[in-house]
Chains A and B, each alone.
Chain A
């Protein structure tokens, strides 16, 4: 059972504070601050990586908040915090906090300190309907829209930032077929607002790829987590049919024919999805609620239908600048090949190579000026960044890392290499959306957008 909900800015300011069962003394304004400041102190004192369940100890905060447990999630640069005195399910609470953040985004248009501040009355209203006495009631926009009275105050997004943001909802703005980047970040309810009237629906297929490639280039582990997400701005709820690849097969047991069937191991669906046509025609039927929702999640383990997008050919050597004073360095030569089809491009590719302890400086030879590389002694790593990497291309780089007093054993400290990148218009499973139909067919008003993207979740190449 949830006792309190807070939304905190990165600086620890209280943006939203809601107390569901009055825990302590009458002047709750004050003690809420005590407890939440205690939480904030703990969260900031610990370095970045913190398990989500934090218990604040009464030791330094007094008996006011003895036994209060905080559970938090970070979204949109804000802390979404729930506190509890009982033994609830942290899963429930984290799910809920994430859902709350998503709803806030749906209702306010975007998720930022500013939008939360401007819409506090709306968020309080939402919270009142979503949680009663600590019991979560609903998080569905379909139900909520019956109750919510407050209009969202929409903040104008900062345009420069959005232009450079080559993300999900704004990949490659130049192309006419792609929706403008701001289109998806607006409140769902502001139909009477200035941006209103546009009946749009966005369907995104997002895949996260995690791969481990062994030292001899062998694929050791690969899996893909995928999801189909809908962001819906249609005011009336009409049924939508989403057609997936007809040859999509599900489960490990099914035999593969010679055709390059698209296969996933397992999938889960949103509870609103009707699956009566799924088994035969691979059609999902859903009445999308307003806002963002994940209609289908799927995963594929161990077998990739295509080659992994990057191959690395490394070589690591020890060299002496001056043998007599033991001034040594490590030569790292990396050859990186992109195995995507020639028309595709990988974006924001960055490669991290661990270097031996005590590395002091680095010089590099890169093949084009838009690439950058730097040594990060703090992380014991070097970082090589490539903004665009066309399919079929091969890039190479040579790094000379000065390491005084290098022993042969420290060469073992080089590796494994990790990469992160983004593959727009690509799905690694090959899952495609054949069609998107709204029934009853709406007159030209509604615009439908389908986008694909693959992110690297964890891409490791061992040396």
Chain B
């Protein structure tokens, strides 16, 4: 069998020749062996397409084994040899009439896999017959074939009425046929979100439930997944479906089990909670979920990710099953981490002792990542279960005694959180913590320790010494530590003003004068101002009582959780991301929702809640949220460049403005106060000399009060043609989908620079930092010309406007539609993706009009027979004074090359509003370059 090991990518001529001879041999056995060899070469990636005619010649045979091999080859190469593939059509058609059902099915199956347009025409008749074949094996193959054909030519399938035949097959007597019909219809329905393909009604549901009991395990999965999309009319129907699905929970195939869990989790939502059946169902769900964990590690991982969702939605299901989530020493790390996460979610007063004992064991294991997470978990338990806090703290102290470096550091980080949850309760441990000060080398741990020292400065005798020791290497610390240190020292100063004047001056000058980091500098200035104007206010601000931290962390946002519950068992539930975030194209864009509970009154809304997008919405005008490429998911976003070159002082001041809101007046008043600050008796601390640097930098920033618009609007208004239209901002990224970050924006062209105007709004509870932006490849190579400048952390409920200059130097890839742009925005929380569309007029350069002669010549080049007429509806003529015309026709031309269009684009600059709306609408009608070209020429004429 040496032929399998041939090492080259291209079969040599000798080999081809030899195979050719063998293929044309008279002996059947030899022929068969030859085809096998050909397929072997194909598998290892060699090009054996040259043998196409010879292999096709072997097709006419009554030997099924040989026929199958030939078909295998055909499927692989037909696309590259469409003309040759036609040669095979006759045999296919003949085979579809064969008395042997195996051959009929084989022919129909293979034909569907040959994606050559010419062949599809011949496929229709045989397919129609096969859909009504007497043999169920042929029918079920034909059902799948409809889906195949739909993928190649959707229109053809609709025209030929195959969809109706497919719907009829749902009532077929053979369960396998039903399952395949359901699978095919579900897939076709996904690409037509608003069609009524799978109009499930109680009758069809009944048929499906009957078929469910009889078909193969894989068919059961199709049917269950389809059932999950159904919206029962009332709780009674919901209960009866649940009752009939429940037996699936004890199926040996875990995929069936999980699909059944999905159906039950969804329909349970409709059952009133006081119903007995509800309780029974909850009890029935636990054992199958536990059993899933006895599978291989891979399946365990998938199961755990799903259980994580279920536990967040309905913790009561598994509340007694804590033990199964205890980690085994030989679990792979990814399983261990997931188990740990679930353990914390399930932790309650009843089981906390057990959990803590386990966690303590884990904290002595070998794997560093796991140990760290275990230590953190102890802290989370303390925060979640108040009664256990004391035991958790003592456990953490025991761990600190081990002096294992990373354990100590993690412990300190979580103890900080415990302090925030239970202030003034466990301060006795501070002494022990301070002993370990020297061994802390990770920024997070150092920052946590500094926070503790600052917060409890009054109880630590040598707090000033401790903080001073950090100050020595101030500039080598990470930003996180620097900020913490600044705050801690200010706190210390406010608590013990007499001994620490020098220290606070030192840190303020380090932060404001010697640092390039705007965050740090701004915070330094704010403290400075506060301290110098009103120390009492400073005390109130800096030493204010902090809000307690919440019990649960890392919870998935409720709307997302609901959607993910509807996707239990799928990839989405493993990634914990909605399918729209990683599935390309229209598929999976529909957002699924849980049904409303029956008791809640307004639940009778409509059965089509499950479908997204009201049908009257203008198609694709506003970029759909889901239209994202998985492509973007792993983009490596560079960390934002926090350091801003000091050449732009005005920018920094502008950013500062944002931070305080009323800082302007503060700055003014400080100016007014001028020199006498120093002598202010209320200060009691010689701050007088300190602000020397301030007025200077303020002086260079006369526009502080001028608002952000001006500051960021680089070169705004310079050389702008009048009347350049900027569309109002539309929401591109919903807060719901992006953990609280909402982005709206628009595009503009100002002074020859393309700009993306963004408004970032923080609708979450926590501060957002570290913004960065990146584009996917797009049709015109748009790319950010520089990093996105979001200089200050975005605090909750705050909005910031950013103008991002764009260049056209990025990588180019044709998008659909042409002006689609996919964007990834990163912040400290996560990376988010959205897509938007820019007006094509954005790309038009200002200089140069087409010469009249040139235009006429171009115009005449277009043959008359290419003229087409149609109506354009709903054009929004929203601004400008030259928009009085109404468009009634657009000529389409298919003879022009796309590069002509680009040339035109480069040369022309027209009234952007009209061109924009024209181009926009024409894109919707027929997204081709040629159409746009024609429109531009047409515009030229009317201008």
Which residues does A use to contact B, with CB under 8 Å?
1, 13-17, 19, 21-22, 26-30, 32-33, 48-53, 55, 57-59, 63, 66-69, 73, 84-92, 94-96, 98, 117-118, 120-121, 124-125, 128, 132-133, 135-140, 143, 146-147, 149-150, 208, 210, 212, 221, 225, 266, 268-271, 294, 297, 299, 301-302, 354, 379-381, 407, 409-410, 412-413, 415-416, 418, 420, 457-458, 460, 462
Which of A90, A301, A354, A379: most chain B CB closer than 10 A? A90
Contacts A137-B216, A269-B250, A299-B291 known; 20 new A-B pairs at CB < 8 A: A21-B148, A33-B45, A53-B302, A55-B633, A58-B629, A67-B630, A89-B571, A91-B299, A92-B569, A96-B218, A121-B69, A124-B39, A132-B141, A135-B184, A137-B176, A139-B217, A208-B294, A354-B365, A409-B402, A462-B361
Which residue of the partner chain, among B102, B180, B403, contacts A407 with CB atoms under 8 Å?
B403
Which of B80, B145, B255, B299: most chain A CB closer than 10 A? B255
- B247 nearest CB across to chain A (Å): 11
> Which residues of A lie under 8 Å from residue B44 when comparing CB positions?
13-14
B 167-210 to A, binary, CB cutoff 8 A, 1 in contact else 0 = 00000000010001001100100000000000000000000000
> Which residues of A lie under 8 Å from residue B875 when comparing CB positions?
none
Which of B21-29, B327-335, B616-624, B703-711 interfaces with chain A? B327-335
Q: Do B221 and A125 touch (CB < 8 A)?
A: no
Q: Do B258 and A67 touch (CB < 8 A)?
A: no
Which residue of the partner chain, among A140, A225, A301, A413, contacts B323 with CB atoms under 8 Å?
A301
Which residue of the partner chain, among A29, A91, A133, A413, contacts B254 with CB atoms under 8 Å?
A91
> Which residues of B lie under 8 Å from residue A136 when comparing CB positions?
218, 221
Dominant SS among interface residues on chain B: helix
> Which residues of B lie under 8 Å from residue A66 when comparing CB positions?
584, 629-631
Q: Do A57 and B72 touch (CB < 8 A)?
A: no
Which of B148, B180, B252, B324: most chain A CB closer than 10 A? B252
Which residue of the partner chain, among A17, A69, A212, A418, contacts B571 with CB atoms under 8 Å?
A69
Which residue of the partner chain, among A63, A132, A149, contacts B109 with CB atoms under 8 Å?
A132
Which of B43, B176, B221, B631: most chain A CB closer than 10 A? B43
Which of B329, B404, B587: most chain A CB closer than 10 A? B329
Which residue of chain B has the shortest Cβ distance to A267 in the bound complex?
B250
Which residue of the partner chain, among A51, A53, A91, A457, contacts B258 with CB atoms under 8 Å?
A91
- B299 nearest CB across to chain A (Å): 6
Top 6 closest pairs, chain A to chain B, by CB: A67-B630, A57-B634, A52-B298, A458-B328, A66-B631, A149-B65
Which residue of chain A has the shortest Cβ distance to B141 in the bound complex?
A132
- A152 nearest CB across to chain B (Å): 13
Q: Do A128 and B68 touch (CB < 8 A)?
A: yes
Which residue of chain A has the shortest Cβ distance to B571 in the bound complex?
A87
The complex places the Cα of A391 from the Cα of B45 at a distance, in Å, of 56
Report if B583 contacts A (CB, 8 A).
yes
The complex places the Cα of A412 from the Cα of B252 at a distance, in Å, of 43
The complex places the Cα of A331 from the Cα of B401 at a distance, in Å, of 22
B 578-590 to A, binary, CB cutoff 8 A, 1 in contact else 0 = 0100111001100
A-B contact pairs, 26 of them (CB 8 A): A52-B298, A55-B634, A58-B631, A58-B634, A66-B631, A67-B583, A67-B630, A69-B571, A85-B584, A86-B587, A87-B582, A87-B588, A88-B570, A91-B255, A91-B258, A94-B298, A95-B253, A96-B255, A117-B1, A133-B145, A147-B102, A266-B291, A270-B252, A409-B402, A412-B402, A458-B328
Report if B574 contacts A (CB, 8 A).
yes
> Which residues of B lie under 8 Å from residue A212 when comparing CB positions?
326
Which residue of chain A has the shortest Cβ distance to B222 in the bound complex?
A135
Q: Given A13-B44, A67-B630, A135-B222: A53 and B323 within 8 A (CB)?
A: no
Report if B139 contacts A (CB, 8 A).
no
Interface members, chain B 657-695 (any A CB < 8 Å): none
Report if B319 contacts A (CB, 8 A).
no
The complex places the Cα of A301 from the Cα of B225 at a distance, in Å, of 31
The complex places the Cα of A457 from the Cα of B300 at a distance, in Å, of 14
The complex places the Cα of A120 from the Cα of B331 at a distance, in Å, of 34
> Which residues of A lie under 8 Å from residue B329 when comparing CB positions?
416, 418, 458, 460
> Which residues of B lie under 8 Å from residue A17 when comparing CB positions?
43
Q: Do B404 and A409 touch (CB < 8 A)?
A: yes
Q: Do B299 and A120 touch (CB < 8 A)?
A: no
The complex places the Cα of A30 from the Cα of B45 at a distance, in Å, of 6
- A352 nearest CB across to chain B (Å): 8
Q: Do B588 and A86 touch (CB < 8 A)?
A: yes
Interface members, chain B 466-491 (any A CB < 8 Å): none
Q: Do A135 and B333 touch (CB < 8 A)?
A: no
The complex places the Cα of A90 from the Cα of B579 at a distance, in Å, of 13
Report if B926 contacts A (CB, 8 A).
no
> Which residues of A lie under 8 Å from residue B183 when comparing CB positions?
135
Interface members, chain B 297-328 (any A CB < 8 Å): 298-299, 301-303, 323-324, 326, 328
Q: Do B334 and A51 touch (CB < 8 A)?
A: yes
The complex places the Cα of A407 from the Cα of B405 at a distance, in Å, of 13
Which residue of chain B has the shortest Cβ distance to A225 in the bound complex?
B294
The complex places the Cα of A66 from the Cα of B40 at a distance, in Å, of 28
- B878 nearest CB across to chain A (Å): 36
Report if B760 contacts A (CB, 8 A).
no
The complex places the Cα of A91 from the Cα of B225 at a distance, in Å, of 13
Which residue of chain B has the shortest Cβ distance to A60 in the bound complex?
B634
The complex places the Cα of A21 from the Cα of B64 at a distance, in Å, of 23
Q: Do A92 and B216 touch (CB < 8 A)?
A: no
Q: Do A58 and B630 touch (CB < 8 A)?
A: yes
Report if B420 contacts A (CB, 8 A).
no
The complex places the Cα of A127 from the Cα of B510 at a distance, in Å, of 69
Which of B65, B298, B324: most chain A CB closer than 10 A? B298
Which residue of chain A has the shortest Cβ distance to B82 in the bound complex?
A26
Q: Do A98 and B296 touch (CB < 8 A)?
A: yes
Q: Do A299 and B294 touch (CB < 8 A)?
A: yes
- B855 nearest CB across to chain A (Å): 36
Q: Do A268 and B291 touch (CB < 8 A)?
A: yes
Q: Do B570 and A89 touch (CB < 8 A)?
A: yes
Report if B47 contacts A (CB, 8 A).
yes
Report if B259 contacts A (CB, 8 A).
yes
- B614 nearest CB across to chain A (Å): 23
Q: Do B334 and A413 touch (CB < 8 A)?
A: no
Q: Do B326 and A221 touch (CB < 8 A)?
A: yes
B 45-71 to A, binary, CB cutoff 8 A, 1 in contact else 0 = 111000000000000000011001100
Which residue of the partner chain, among A29, A85, A269, contacts B252 with CB atoms under 8 Å?
A269
Report if B112 contacts A (CB, 8 A).
yes
Q: Do B631 and A149 touch (CB < 8 A)?
A: no
- B874 nearest CB across to chain A (Å): 33
Report if B635 contacts A (CB, 8 A).
yes
> Which residues of A lie under 8 Å from residue B572 when comparing CB positions?
87
Q: Do B631 and A92 touch (CB < 8 A)?
A: no
> Which residues of A lie under 8 Å from residue B302 when comparing CB positions?
52-53, 90-91, 94
Q: Do A133 and B144 touch (CB < 8 A)?
A: yes
> Which residues of B lie under 8 Å from residue A462 when comparing CB positions?
361
- B377 nearest CB across to chain A (Å): 18
Which residue of chain B has the shortest Cβ distance to A418 in the bound complex?
B329
- B805 nearest CB across to chain A (Å): 25
Q: Do A133 and B112 touch (CB < 8 A)?
A: yes
> Which residues of A lie under 8 Å from residue B333 when comparing CB positions?
49
Report if B777 contacts A (CB, 8 A).
yes
Q: Do B331 and A415 touch (CB < 8 A)?
A: no
- A34 nearest CB across to chain B (Å): 10
Q: Do B79 and A26 touch (CB < 8 A)?
A: yes
Report if B591 contacts A (CB, 8 A).
no
Q: Do B298 and A149 touch (CB < 8 A)?
A: no
- A284 nearest CB across to chain B (Å): 13
B 238-262 to A, binary, CB cutoff 8 A, 1 in contact else 0 = 0000000000001111110011000
Q: Do A22 and B39 touch (CB < 8 A)?
A: no
The complex places the Cα of A85 from the Cα of B574 at a distance, in Å, of 15
Q: Do A210 and B631 touch (CB < 8 A)?
A: no
The complex places the Cα of A271 from the Cα of B257 at a distance, in Å, of 13
> Which residues of A lie under 8 Å from residue B140 when comparing CB positions?
137
- B821 nearest CB across to chain A (Å): 15
- A44 nearest CB across to chain B (Å): 16
Report if B504 contacts A (CB, 8 A).
no
